[in-house]
Chain A
Amino acid sequence: MRVLFITILSLISLNMFAAGSKIDIPKYDWSWKGFFGTYDRASAQRGLKVYREVCAGCHSMDLIAYRNLEDLGFSEAHIKAIAAEYLIPDGPNEEGEMFEREAIPSDRFANPYPNVQAARAANNGAYPPDLSLIVKARPKGADYLKALLLGYVEAPAGKDIPEGQYYNQYMEGNLIAMPSPLSEGIVEYDDGTEATLDQMATDVTTFLAWAAEPSLEDRKRIGLKVILFLFVLLILAYISKQQIWRDIK
């Protein structure tokens, strides 16, 4: 039995060793980690601004509706105002025509391109992935995303960079079709926070982490209660068991 456990443990550690030998993704501190973690609302709100002003030019977020932003502490009026800044296709109307109208809170985020082909055509053949689930759709999720955003460094000498590709130390194969999206002061934060590279990468990652897993806070809160409940139940069940088995020799 003991040998079994040792085998499992050594296989697990072997796996960690193997994983560590590839590209090392740094570990960052996130507000939503741990048993009581919650999304940093101010950071996520700033992240939305980065998304709207930088990422949204190419990346859609099909699964998120403007009304979902209430989760991040935006007021109903504010959400209406944000939605109204976008035009989305609708129709056909009574004359049978397609038309564009201002978005309302129940609409999903406006898509920068009408279809995948248009997106590819505008981006050198590369399709900018939808960002709704991006944090859950990559190994090491948020850490990877932030590292990637900050990972544009000088290519090592002799590395061949094809046309329309960029060097990124955290991308698999080190070549990425997206040019470095962030630069110092590319957005101006409403709350006066200085828009450093690191700050913007943190904020937009926080926003995207929320978008990928909006139920995280509920989940952790309920989980704690469930586990506490089960522990109390286990204690009672254990006492009952001792009582019932008392006379069995």
Chain B
Amino acid sequence: MSSNDPQGYKKTLNSPYTGLKGWIDSRLPLVRMMEAEYLKFPVPKSLNYFWSFGGIAMFCLIGLILTGIFLGFHYKPSADEAFDSVERIMRDVNYGWLIRYLHANLVSFFFIATFIHIFRALYFGSYKAPRELVYLFGLTMFVLMMGTAFLGYTLPWGQMSYWGATVITNLFSAIPFVGDAILTLLLGDFNVGDSTINRFYVLHWLLAFSIVGLVVFHVITLHMTGSNNPTGSEPQSWDETVSFHPYVTIKDLNATIFFFIILAFVLFYYPNILGHSDNYIRANPMVTPAHIVPEWYFLPFYAILRAIPDKLGGVLAMFGSIAALGLLPWLDTSKVRSCLFRPVWRICVLLFAINFFVLMYMGGKPAEGIYVLISRIGTVYWFLFIFVLAPLVGFLETPRQPLSITNYLKAKKA
């Protein structure tokens, strides 16, 4: 439309709806947007269940925020009262035990869903052009998630809360020149204490809602490019897509219910299995636990931290391991996206996933002997994968010709 035709331009903004829906839509285009993005939005029809984990992660996030609000009604962020207020939630608040166990276990399942979601992105090449920003927003959310989870774990003010907070915040003192100043600012004191828990509580909320904000960007960028799919080939016609609703919604609903059955099993029968028994001991600055272990989802990164003999080096390696993943869209030189058609890269990605679990195991072991050696090998592979294998394999490998979505589905049936 030309700039001297403001009326014509305005007409394009008119709502297609009438009545109340039209009244709202012509003032706030939410109805239009929801219809375009969540009902009619075309999605490749070849998606497998790996593609359900983004939605599952979102449900986890919603659950965490809802339970978090109810916990916040009763929780007291102070060194003297935090532990007792959590126990009051567990014992005296109606269904407080359910809300708190849900909150504690949903985090773990949020991480499980997110790890699978990230693996999916690596395996099927979802990070490659034109989806680099989708991927980068996702990685940023993952970093914020780790921050939020760490802050949240300090709040019950048990022994692991306290000592975990002490060890992890101490990492910041490794930063040259300003490290100690940053540490003091972070703790609000020279030690982890009352002012620390107070500000960690505020930051826990702040980061949690920042994740929600980034989800919006993650989804907007995704909806500009459309979903990737197992073939990595873009849909060539409407015939190769289905509408988001009801096809994807019902599929994701199935996956979500299945996922939540597993969550319910852990939640109701083994609610403490993913936690540490030391956290049922009140925080005590005078007694250090024999082994200070972070939550299971931090273990791979903890292993990388400890693999480097130098403190600053370890901190850089730990944060660098995630930051480096953000370079993958530009370091991977292959034209083909999906591992289904990249035999060599496929092995590298699977090894990366195995390496992730090996590092996770090493992170839970004391930093000595063979454990450190294996952690070092794992750390080397992590960076080798990103900085050497990604560019090199892309050059040297001869990928197979990727199938179109239609042919892929045909081949799958046969």
Alpha-carbon distance A224/B234, docked complex (angstroms): 44
Query: Which of the residues B87, B254, B264, B358 comes within 8 Å of A223, measured between beta carbons?
Result: B264
- Complex contacts, A215 vs chain B, CB 8 Å: 90-91, 97-98
**A208-241 to B contact mask, C-beta < 8 Å, 1/0:** 0000101100111011101100110110011011
Is A231 a contact partner of B261 (Cβ separation < 8 A)?
A: yes
State whether A8 and B357 are in contact (beta carbons under 8 Å apart), knowing that A223-B264, A230-B257, A237-B253 are contacts in the complex. Answer: yes
State whether A227 and B264 are in contact (beta carbons under 8 Å apart), knowing that A219-B97, A220-B269 are contacts in the complex. Answer: yes
Stretch at the interface among B12-20, B62-70, B270-278, B381-389: B270-278
Is A220 a contact partner of B268 (Cβ separation < 8 A)?
A: yes
- Complex contacts, A93 vs chain B, CB 8 Å: none
- Complex contacts, B278 vs chain A, CB 8 Å: 137
A14 interface residue, CB < 8 Å from B? yes
Residues 349-364 of B at the A interface (beta carbon under 8 Å)? 350, 353-354, 357-358, 360-361, 364
Query: Which of the residues A11, A63, A238 comes within 8 Å of B91, measured between beta carbons?
Result: A63
Alpha-carbon distance A240/B257, docked complex (angstroms): 13
**B101-131 to A contact mask, C-beta < 8 Å, 1/0:** 1000000000000000000000000000000
Is A141 a contact partner of B253 (Cβ separation < 8 A)?
A: no
Alpha-carbon distance A3/B277, docked complex (angstroms): 32
Alpha-carbon distance A91/B240, docked complex (angstroms): 77
Alpha-carbon distance A215/B87, docked complex (angstroms): 12
Alpha-carbon distance A15/B90, docked complex (angstroms): 31
- Complex contacts, B281 vs chain A, CB 8 Å: 129, 133, 137
When C-beta atoms are compared, the residue in chain A nearest to B261 turns out to be A230
Is A219 a contact partner of B257 (Cβ separation < 8 A)?
A: no
In the assembled complex, the CB of A100 is this many whole angstroms from the nearest CB of chain B, namely 23
Is B261 a contact partner of A234 (Cβ separation < 8 A)?
A: yes
B258 interface residue, CB < 8 Å from A? yes
- Complex contacts, B376 vs chain A, CB 8 Å: none
Alpha-carbon distance A39/B153, docked complex (angstroms): 30
- Please report the total number of B residues contacting A with Cβ < 8 Å: 40
Is A241 a contact partner of B254 (Cβ separation < 8 A)?
A: yes
B280 interface residue, CB < 8 Å from A? yes
A-B contact pairs, 13 of them (CB 8 A): A7-B357, A136-B280, A138-B277, A215-B98, A219-B101, A220-B269, A223-B267, A224-B268, A230-B257, A230-B260, A230-B264, A245-B247, A248-B45
Q: What is B's interface to A at a CB cutoff of 8 Å?
A: 45, 84, 87, 90-91, 97-98, 101, 242, 246-247, 250-251, 253-254, 257-258, 260-261, 264-265, 267-269, 271-272, 277-278, 280-281, 290, 350, 353-354, 357-358, 360-361, 364, 409
Q: What is A's interface to B at a CB cutoff of 8 Å?
A: 1, 3-4, 7-8, 11, 14-15, 35, 63, 68, 129, 132-133, 136-139, 141, 172, 212, 214-215, 218-220, 222-224, 226-227, 230-231, 233-234, 237-238, 240-241, 244-245, 248-249
7 closest A-B pairs by CB: A223-B268, A137-B280, A215-B97, A136-B280, A133-B280, A234-B257, A11-B361
**Beyond the given A4-B357, A240-B250, could you list 15 further A-B residue pairs with CB under 8 A, ordered by the A residue number?**
A3-B354, A4-B350, A7-B358, A11-B357, A133-B280, A133-B281, A136-B280, A137-B281, A219-B98, A223-B267, A234-B257, A234-B261, A237-B253, A237-B257, A249-B409
